[in-house]
C-alpha cells in the first residue's frame, strides 16, 4: 500500500489505503478530463469560439488544480500517485474523448457529459472516504465536486437548445 511516511495522525492504515485508492482513481480521471478539455480548447469552432476557447482555459486550469490537490493528498497519506501516462491510460474511467470533432456544440455536449460523470465520481468518493473515517479527504472531494459542478454549468450554458 504505502512506502512513504504518512504525514497524518489518527488515521489507521486501512483508512489511508481506502483514501489513497479513491484519490488515485480520481487523479487518473482528472488528468484524462484535463486532456479532453485541452483537446476541445485547441479544436473547437463556431460562433462562440473565443468565449468557449477562453472558458476551456479556465476550466482546464481548475481541473489541473484538482489533480494537484488529489495527488498531494495521496502523498500526505503515505501513498504513491498514479499519474504516469501508462497509469492514467490504464486506470481512467473517463469515456475516450472524440478527436475528430470541431463544432462547438459537440464539444459542449462531450465535455458536459464528462464533467457531470466526474462530479458524480467525486460525490461517490466523498461518501466512501467519509465512511472510512477520513473526513479531510472527503472534504477535498466535496471541494472538487463543487468546482466541477460549476464548470459543468458554465460549459452547459453554451449547449444548443431546441
Question: What local confidence, expressed as pLDDT, does residue 8 receive?
Answer: 86
Give domain status of residue 18, yes or no.
no
Question: What local confidence, expressed as pLDDT, does residue 6 receive?
Answer: 76
Q: Domain residues for 49?
A: 26-156
Average pLDDT over residues 68-91: 96
pLDDT digits (tens, 9 = 90+) for 113-128: 999 999 999 999 999 9
Give domain status of residue 14, yes or no.
no
Give domain status of residue 98, yes or no.
yes
The contacts of residue 52 (CB under 8 Å, 6+ apart) are 40, 44, 46, 104, 107, 108, 158
Distance of CA 134 to the CA centre of its chain: 19
Task: Look up the CATH number of the domain holding residue 38.
Answer: 1.20.1260.10
Give domain status of residue 10, yes or no.
no
Give this prediction's pTM: 0.94
Give domain status of residue 106, yes or no.
yes
Q: Which residues pair with 45 in a beta bridge?
A: 103
Give domain status of residue 138, yes or no.
yes
114 with 54: CB under 8 angstroms?
Answer: no
Count of domains for the chain: 1
Give domain status of residue 126, yes or no.
yes
Amino acid at each position: 500500500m504505502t512506502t512513504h511516511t504518512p504525514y497524518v495522525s489518527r488515521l489507521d492504515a486501512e483508512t489511508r489505503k481506502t483514501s489513497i485508492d479513491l484519490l488515485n482513481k480520481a487523479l487518473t480521471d482528472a488528468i484524462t478530463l484535463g486532456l479532453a478539455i485541452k483537446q476541445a480548447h485547441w479544436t473547437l469552432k463556431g460562433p462562440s469560439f473565443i468565449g468557449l476557447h477562453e472558458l476551456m482555459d479556465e476550466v482546464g486550469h481548475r481541473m489541473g488544480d484538482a489533480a494537484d490537490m488529489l495527488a498531494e493528498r495521496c502523498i500526505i497519506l503515505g501513498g504513491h500517485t498514479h499519474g504516469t501516462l501508462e497509469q492514467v491510460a490504464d486506470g481512467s474511467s473517463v469515456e475516450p474523448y472524440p478527436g475528430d470533432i470541431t463544432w462547438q456544440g459537440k464539444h459542449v455536449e462531450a465535455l458536459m457529459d464528462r464533467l457531470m460523470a466526474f462530479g458524480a465520481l467525486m460525490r461517490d468518493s466523498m461518501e466512501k472516504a467519509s465512511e472510512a473515517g477520513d473526513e479531510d479527504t472527503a472534504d477535498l472531494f466535496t471541494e472538487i465536486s463543487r468546482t466541477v459542478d460549476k464548470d459543468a454549468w458554465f460549459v452547459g450554458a453554451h449547449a444548443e437548445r431546441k
